[in-house]
Amino acid sequence: MNFNVPDYIKNIAPYVPGKPIEELEREYGISDSVKLASNENPLGPSPKAMAAIAHSVRNLHRYPDGAGFDLIQRLAAYLKVPPDRIVIGNGSDDLLGMLARVLLQPGDEVLVPDPSFLMYTIVAQSAGAVPIKVPLKELAIDPEAMLSRVGPRTRMVFICNPNNPTGAVVRRPALDALLAALPPRVVVVVDEAYFEFVRDENCISGLAYLDTRPAVVTLRTFSKAYGLAGLRVGYGVMAAPLAELLNRVRMPFNVNSLAQIAATAALDDDEFLNRTLGVVHEGMDFLHAELAQRGLRAFSSQANFFLVDVGRPADEVFQALLHHGVIVRSMRAYGYPRFIRVSIGLPEENRRFLKALDLVWT
């Protein structure tokens, strides 16, 4: 059938998420598997979020607050920004789509680090814009290379900080220089999905540039550090006029009631957040030390995952680990055919990964 669909839509390569753990167990005939593939919180959801959900399920027959008043007010207090600068979304992916619909037109160019989060390319293409992929430098986003690709049609620049899948960060001097050199018409989108995990004191949040030119939009999510990936809730912080435009195209009730309630409660769960950071940082240090003893190179990361050069085809290692009930992510599709990405798990999950890796290696 001919739906008269534009070529820029036909040419989009669909995003392929990691398979659910239940599906992989069925396919491979395994059970009690350990999933270290999707950068999820190893502790599960925030307890305060779960308690808030349990108290609120009786109201599921009501529509959500379309304005997200309580969540936005709590975020404004938490971030120390005016409420009119915050837009909530069904995950930060939803915000990416809004930005594309509001700011991009066919023929515009969007600078995208390569590799980075695949949705940047997809949302650009969905608006008919042209993604310009800028290679990383030593696994990190290269601001100088990005500046060299700025042209008269450049409209947007994506910075994933820390970058997924490499875990590297852009430090303040480099980000300062990039913003100083970009034309005012360019909007810089700083995706901070993993920002809570950062230990590098020289890494700066996009929130520090809220009132600068060019315009800077900071995106964050409750999926990772707060353990609410299944509820899909994120937010963007930006100039108030841009926030007003995004709210014009935002779908009604885009963030469901339970997601709003859980996210609001999670922001008050400092104990859970601190436990999460402790587990992730200790797990990261432990795995790096163990892998170094095995002669494997694990790359430094400021997120809750890291890359490992396994010295052989990553797909082979990925498949072999599956048969031992351990799920990681092959990076072949990202241009790193010998790398796997490993999310930090609970201590016993990290040890099981090492045990399985030893069996694969011998």
Contacts of 65 (CB under 8 A, 6+ apart): 257, 260
Model pLDDT, residue 19:
65
Q: Which amino acid is located at 110 in the chain?
A: V
Determine the structural domain holding residue 132 and report its residue range.
48-266
User: CA triplet 6, 10, 13: central angle to 5 degrees?
Assistant: 145
Q: Is residue 10 part of a domain?
A: no
Q: Is residue 6 part of a domain?
A: no
Determine the Cα–Cα distance for residues 255 and 5; give it in Å rounded to an integer: 29
Does 288 lie in the same domain as 201?
no
pLDDT in tens, 307-356: 999 999 999 999 999 989 999 999 998 999 999 999 999 999 999 999 99
Model pLDDT, residue 18:
67
Does 240 lie in the same domain as 228?
yes
- Identify whether the C-beta of residue 297 lies closer than 8 Å to the C-beta of residue 308: yes
Does 115 lie in the same domain as 209?
yes
Can you tell me which residue has the tokens 């989009």? 12
Which of 266, 284, 310 corresponds to the end of one domain? 266
Residue ranges in the chain whose pLDDT is less than 70: 1, 16, 18-19, 362
Which of 208, 242, 266 corresponds to the end of one domain? 266
Q: Are strands 305-309 and 339-343 parallel, antiparallel or unpaired?
A: antiparallel
Give me the torsion for CA of 190, 19, 335, 162, rounded to 10°: 20
Give the containing element (helix H, strand E) for 283. helix 270-293
Which of 244, 266, 288 corresponds to the end of one domain? 266
Give the containing element (helix H, strand E) for 218. strand 216-221
**Residue 221: C-alpha distances to residues 126, 295, 311 (Å):** 22, 35, 34
Does 181 lie in the same domain as 308?
no
Does 248 lie in the same domain as 326?
no
188, 99, 176: which is closest to 150 by C-alpha? 188
Model pLDDT, residue 86:
98
Does 154 lie in the same domain as 248?
yes
CATH of the domain at 290: 3.90.1150.10
Q: Is residue 101 part of a domain?
A: yes
Does 112 lie in the same domain as 218?
yes
- Identify whether the C-beta of residue 110 lies closer than 8 Å to the C-beta of residue 137: no
Q: Which amino acid is located at 346 in the chain?
A: L
Does 39 lie in the same domain as 95?
no
The SS3 assignment for 361 reads helix
